[in-house]
Chain A
Amino acid sequence: MMARRVSGAGTASRAAGERLVAHVLLACTVVAVVTLAAVLAVLVREAGMFFADVSPWRFLTEITWAPAAAEPRFGVLPLLVGTAQIGVGAAVFALPAGLMTAVYLHQYAGSRTARLLSGVTALMAGVPTVVYGLFALHFVTPALRVLWPGVEAFNALSACLVVGLMILPTVTVLSREALDSVPPPLLDAGLALGAPKGRVVTRVLLPAASGGILAAVLIAMARAVGETMIVSLAAGNEARLTWSPFEGLQTLSAFLTQLGMGDAATGTREFQAFFAVGAVLFVGTYGIHMAGRMLVSRSVGRAGQ
């Protein structure tokens, strides 16, 4: 295949070419690292300037969030609680359904059904979240208002349901990977002892895959907590502390989209507040995601032993 001349000049130019390629690839790496570092630097710098003005303690404990008001208040608690409510609410719907679908695919489905359902899951995973947001605002909310007339036009319940729908594919696919990594002889042993299939699933399969399933849950939660478009379309954009799922609320991520709507000038405290909220969201999702990935690599490593 390679009929190349072997001569002194050829070797020298080839060596030069080799060096050039190595330098170009190194340059790519430097550009990538510098770019990603710049993202972090901007976030840290602006958030740092914000916290030089507003003490982190006040930021985390005050209960009013009104950064654009004449007398601005920077208590992030309503946004934090709103984010947690959406995350927990979505998890209530998505985690059991997603995990049970994964068990169904792994244990019960015929190959044709499994292929169909996997295809549907893959399609769902590719749907942009703004499309889910449209569905939430113009279908789920009206449907809820028919069921309960007290539901507001912007409400947390609709957002929770649809964020749950959005993270379903993540839960299903990642839990199924966890189930697939359980050695089949373990299940056969359970069945051979006369245990019914349902018991083998709950006593053998799920405990053996628990590490990977927990990782799936964490990675899905990172997505739910960071979800922006569904929440800002369906739950509205009013920062308030409320426990009613029928009322609207604002999350950290939904607040960030307001930067594009308003006209906060660079260098003002209002502008920096977006980066403080961004930093909180960044630390939260980064941390959850990192914990999930560590669990994945640990459970994969253990299954390989």
Chain B
Amino acid sequence: MTRHKRRRDPVGAACRVAALAVLSGFLVFTAYLGFAASRGVGIDFLRGASSVAVDGTGMGPALAGTLWLLLLTAVLALPIGIGTAIYLEEYAPRTRVTAVIESVAANLAGVPSVIYGIVGLALFVRALGMGPTILAGGCTLAVLALPGVIVTSRTAIRRVPEGLRLAAYGLGATRWQVVRNQILPAAGSGIVAGCCAAFTRTAGAAAPLLVLGTATYMSFAPQTPAHPLTSLPTQIFTWATRSQEEFAALAAGAAIMLLLLLLIMNLISALVVRRLSGAAR
């Protein structure tokens, strides 16, 4: 055995190098963000408005825009997506139609987000007359998130052991009682984790919002969904395209803010998942 271990293993060595390369790629990326942001980002940056002038610029409006967009997406996509998943899994008879809906939804989750952007522009901004507002952005992001929410919720519901269902029905429970008292508690952690993943993708989406037309200059934070569209990802894009170094620093600062927001979102979801899966046991 020891002789085997000592024998040279080129495959193992190559794999080790690859893993090290992946790790260092990520480290370089993180180091760049931290270094770039550390130059020229003051505390005013968090509160201030984004403006064309470099001094006194900030990302308050963009951050508020992203929070608005997340709220709208959650309100629109979560009930409809989870409701659809419950209906398809627990109510609808298994037919060819439900199979087609499932496969289309799963593949739509893999379609580039920018395509939802051009459709959102034609549909929400122009045909429905919303204009390039936060509302139109929220509707577009909700459509973008919908397939992911449906697919992950269905997967979580399907993982619930069939015995649980049969036992509850055997005791005379109605369909909704089975769903509310057995399925949702057992699948809850999976649904939360899946929806969080879908929302992480949505919250960071810049391409569809750029297509809708975002304001590059925003002097005050949005108060209502009728406000012109602004968000952290699109603000990062706008700043990244400027040639001056100062704007790159601002973009890096906003990027770190966005990453922190996503991290907090995922941490909360992880806590909820742990709580729910503990309760189910």
* B-binding residues in A (CB < 8 A): 2, 14, 17-18, 21-22, 24-29, 31-33, 35-36, 38-39, 42-43, 46, 96-98, 100-101, 103-105, 107-109, 117, 120-121, 123-124, 126-135, 137-139, 165, 168, 172, 196-199, 201-202, 219, 222-223, 225-229, 233, 253, 256-257, 259-261, 266, 274-275, 278, 281-282, 285-286, 289-290, 293
Contact = CB atoms under 8 A, between A and B. Distances in A.
Nearest to B13: A198
Contacts of B236: 130-131, 134
B92 interface: yes
Given A26-B91, A128-B262, A266-B122, A227 B112 contact: yes
Interface string B203-214: 111110011111
Given A100-B18, A130-B237, A133-B240, A256 B32 contact: no
A120 B26 contact: yes
A286 B110 contact: yes
A289 B107 contact: yes
Contact of A285 (B110, B176, B241): B110
A281 B206 CA distance: 18
Nearest to A100: B18
Nearest to A255: B114
Contacts of A101: 15, 18-19, 22
Contact of A36 (B15, B108, B203): B108
User: What is the interface residue range for chain B against chain A?
Assistant: 35 or more
Contacts of A26: 87, 91
B147 A117 contact: no
Given A266-B122, A278-B118, A228 B112 contact: yes
B104 interface: yes
Interface in B33-87: 33, 36, 79-84, 86-87
A282 to B, nearest CB: 5
Given A100-B18, A104-B18, A256-B207, 15 more contacts: A2-B181, A117-B22, A127-B29, A130-B237, A131-B236, A131-B259, A134-B236, A134-B251, A135-B29, A168-B22, A199-B11, A226-B111, A228-B207, A260-B210, A285-B110
A103 B15 CA distance: 7
Contact of B14 (A33, A100, A126, A172): A100
Chain A at the B interface: SS class? helix
A239 to B, nearest CB: 16
B206 A128 contact: yes
A22 B91 contact: yes
B192 interface: no
B84 A32 contact: yes
A258 to B, nearest CB: 9
